[in-house]
Chain A
Amino acid sequence: MAGSAIVACDPAMCAVLHADGLPATRLLVLGTATADPLGSDLVVATLAVRNEFGTRLQSVYAPVVIASFGTGAGRIDIRAIAPDGTAAYQAALAADRRSRISAGGQLLRNPRIIVTGGARNALSAGDVDPRLLMMLAALADQQQVRITAFGDPSPGASPVVPLRSVQIAAPGPGAGAEASLRSMLSLIDAQRQPFQPLRAAVAGSSALTVEYAAPSPLGLLGGP
């Protein structure tokens, strides 16, 4: 989860999140004193929250599920808040996808970026988080980048939610492989929000993984 995100939740869930270390200043407790989750970035849609807001949760406040856990009554959805309404949010999502398609297509033409099949499809379809796209352009300025996969660490996310992680393979065998990956990692580690990833690590000498926090920001890229 993004480091500054405000989370709306029912009292019980907020207590759990607070106990897990989320500061109270980042919690918006839903209940009698708070009529709606507007003002937060994410809402934890437990059964209590779903019952409280009904269909308005999806149709008015938070149309997109960015992660989902469990099933049935115990299911918990993490939804992104649409601060300006569902229509505006959906329009922003569509515009952002168009920008990601354009940017991804440009990265695919970059001779310093080598992309395998599945990852190629993700780039061309606009499925990749804009922060990753920007980072890949910068990394490719330094050296060749071999992308093996994009992924979404969030289970149950809506198909419109961008993939927030990438796996980068070493450019080749040999002693320089790990050094190459660590050079990329050092550039990534130097970044600040919103470009500072949630996690980034080199696994052995073969791969670098980078994961950004949810939700993916909208409007980071310019329009095509």
Chain B
Amino acid sequence: MKIMRFIRWTTFLMAAAALSLGIPRVASASTTSSATGWVRLAHLSPNTPPVDVYLYSFGDPSAEQVLHHVGYGVVSAYEPLAAGEYTVAMRAAGAASSTKPVLSATLTVAPGGAYTVAGLGPESGLRLEVLQDRLTAAPGKAEVRFIQASLQQHEVTVTWGGKPTVTNLAFGSVSSYQAVSPATATLRVTGESESANSTITIAAGTVHTIVVLDGSKGLVLDDLLDAAGSGAVPAGAAGTGLGGTAPRVPSPLPWLSLIGTGLLLATVGGLGVRLVPRQRGRHAR
């Protein structure tokens, strides 16, 4: 059973990479090249313990990333990664340095592509899923999708401005993006026994992922801004930006800077998260 739990950790954690709760951060488009993609990680398995996550580049050992102590509800900001293939591995947070990381998935980063690596489902059925994130919306529209990460409510129905948007979204599943008209309106999520409301502004040209989470006092909604801008992919062109991936926190360790800022962290209970760019020989293996 310990082995199975560890495997599940691996899977779910994968999301690990970076995390920060819902506050899309941003790597500067100007510092990235056309051979760069964007990756964020999300731990969305409510009953799975925290993990450390590693991204091993196939072609460039210096491109490795490691993310420590990723807990439930943590969604990292986007982090630029060189395009290419990565092996995603995990081990239990705080495991001895002699513990070997367990491989869990691969991530293919295409130039200009954006991805969310999410650990989904219950601990007993944990899976690591690579979600292709959308960076553009149709003119005059916005795009919204939903991730159902509440184990307490097996299915939820979402209304936006009083209109049904997603119905019976099962735990551990992800809706497709759908175009919506820009507005400031009430987002309501209703499960079998709980519901939650949040007033959210969705501007034209933006792309959002709304995550439904279990909080200490019921459902919690986390609004992730995937992209907010002209819709141009982050290829380095000035002025277009990646929206959510555009730099809002001028730090070389943007993920780190997000720690403690997320709604989830506050709600879920102060998960300690740190993400550091890989520096060879400085972390336990």
- Please name all residues of chain A whose beta carbon is closer than 8 Å to the beta carbon of B54 when the two chains form the complex: 141
CB neighbours (8 Å) of B108 from chain A are 99, 102, 221-224
Q: Which residues of B contact A138 (CB under 8 A)?
A: 56, 87, 89, 101, 103
Closest A residue by C-beta to B62:
A111
- In the complex, whether B59 has a CB less than 8 A from a CB of chain A is yes
Which chain B residue lies CB-closest to A189?
Answer: B100
Which A residues are in CB contact (< 8 Å) with B6? Answer: 192
> Whole-angstrom distance between the alpha carbons of A191 and B100 in the complex?
8
Map CB proximity to B onto A105-135 as digits: 1 under 8 Å, 0 otherwise: 1110111100000000000000000100111
Q: Are A192 and B85 in contact (CB under 8 A)?
A: no
CB < 8 Å A-B pair total: 77
Give the complex CA separation of A140 and B3 in angstroms: 25
Could you tell me the distance between the alpha carbons of A112 and B59 in the complex, rounded to whole angstroms? 9
When chains A and B are docked, how far (Å) is the Cα of A90 from the Cα of B83? 27
Using A110-B61, A140-B61, A142-B285 as known contacts, say yes or no to A135 and B103 having CB atoms under 8 A apart: yes
Residues A192 and B3 in contact in the complex (CB < 8 Å), given A138-B89, A138-B101, A222-B106 = yes
Task: Give CA–CA (A182, B32) in the complex, Å.
Answer: 39
Assess whether A187 is interfacial by the CB under 8 Å rule: yes
Q: Which of B64, B102, B103 has the most CB of A within 10 A?
A: B103
Question: Which residues of chain B are near A130, meaning CB under 8 Å?
Answer: 106
Q: A191-B102, A220-B106 are in contact. Are A137 and B3 (CB under 8 A)?
A: no
User: CB within 8 Å of A: which of B73-116?
Assistant: 84-87, 89, 99-103, 106-108
Is A190 at the interface (CB under 8 A from chain B)?
A: yes
Among B60, B85, B100, contact of A103 (Cβ-Cβ < 8 Å):
B85
When the two chains form their complex, are residues A141 and B61 in contact, meaning their CB atoms are under 8 A apart? yes
Contact residues, A19-46 vs B (CB, 8 A): none
Bound CA–CA A117/B179 (angstroms): 52
Which residue of chain B lies nearest to A102 when distances are taken between CB atoms in the complex? B85
Task: Given contacts A106-B85, A110-B57, A141-B54, list 6 more A-B pairs with CB under 8 A.
Answer: A103-B85, A106-B58, A135-B103, A186-B100, A222-B85, A223-B108
